[in-house]
Homo-oligomer: A and B are copies of this chain.
Amino acid sequence: MKNDFAAWMTVIQHRTETALERWLPAANAAPARLHEAMRYSSLGGGKRMRPLLCHAAGEALGADPQRVDVAACAVELIHAYSLVHDDLPCMDNDVLRRGRPTCHVEYDEATALLVGDALQTLAFQLLAEHQATLAPERQLTMLVLLTQASGSRGMAGGQAIDLGSIGLALTVEELEFMHIHKTGALIRAAVLLGAHAGAADAATLAALGHFANRAGLLFQVVDDILDAEGSTVTLGKTAGKDAANDKPTYVSMLGLPRAKELAARLRVEAHATLDACTQDTSRLHALTNYIVDRSF
């Protein structure tokens, strides 16, 4: 079962890479430097957590994997754009990402700005251009879902709250509010878009939405634990940077033992929400465990 899941993950990571390869503009198409930098920033790295969640939900709903690819790549491109902009000097000013120089270090700041801009556009272009579900109305709903998750009341809003929180004494509730936006919204979109690709009904969408909310927070708590405990080498990005940037994290607020307790509780809750679905959600169960076990 564990081997089967590992093999499944490899298959999804590989097909996501292949699909992104195909849908990203060719590196020699004009403007070549921009396209090369777009490919540099979105290919050949990352755990593809969002595509994995998208495909896992799609599989539970019996969706055509080729349709899920559209949604999975759209979500991954939004994630990739956010990393490029997040790493810029005016934001986190980070030099290392997925074990390689960040985009503005490898290229330059202006190019990195345009790379993020164009990756965002490409995400929505894919989801408008390629069939991602059965009916065009539902595809518009998927676009609404992804734009809401990405915009000022989703991911970008979460980053703004994050910016505003540096050096402040947040409550755990405020920290949770920030993460629900900054990382949770896109993780939720990944799960729900996979479900939409399989034409899920309202009850299933609601249950998967609850699951995704827990999984998104779980992901962030584990990320904070990794950032506090991990080394730069295993993370593939600069470790300890949240503490260095004086950013509040679950570890800085709760301490390591209680952060781990919280992760354990969120894991249990995530599994429980999946049990409300009548479909076979074994991939989503396994991914929930994977989110936690990558760290300890």
Contacts and interface: CB of A to CB of B under 8 A. Distances in A.
Interface of A: 25, 29-31, 33-35, 38, 81, 85, 88, 90-91, 108-111, 113-114, 116-118, 120-122, 124-125, 128-129, 135-137, 139-140, 143-144, 147-148, 150-153, 156-157, 159-161, 163-164
A139 B136 CA distance: 9
B110 A125 contact: no
Contacts of A143: 124-125, 128, 143
Contacts of A160: 31, 33-34, 111, 114
A157 B153 CA distance: 27
Question: A-B pairs with the 8 shortest C-beta distances?
Answer: A125-B147, A121-B151, A128-B143, A90-B109, A136-B136, A118-B152, A34-B160, A31-B160
Contacts of A147: 121-122, 124-125, 128-129
Nearest to A147: B125
B121 A157 contact: no
Contacts of A153: 25, 29
28 contacts: A25-B152, A25-B153, A31-B157, A31-B160, A34-B152, A34-B157, A85-B114, A90-B113, A91-B110, A111-B163, A114-B156, A117-B117, A118-B152, A121-B147, A121-B152, A122-B147, A122-B151, A124-B124, A124-B147, A125-B148, A128-B140, A128-B143, A128-B147, A135-B136, A136-B140, A139-B140, A140-B140, A143-B143
A82 to B, nearest CB: 8
A interface secondary structure, majority: helix
Task: Please give the count of copies of this chain that the complex contains.
Answer: 2
A122 B157 CA distance: 12
B136 A150 contact: no
Contacts of A156: 34, 114, 117-118, 121
Contact of A152 (B35, B124, B137, B144): B35
A161 B90 contact: no
Given A136-B139, A139-B140, 4 more contacts: A35-B152, A114-B159, A120-B121, A122-B151
A212 to B, nearest CB: 19
A74 B17 CA distance: 31
Contacts of A148: 125
A20 to B, nearest CB: 14
A103 to B, nearest CB: 12
Contacts of A150: 121
A31 B152 contact: yes
Nearest to A120: B120
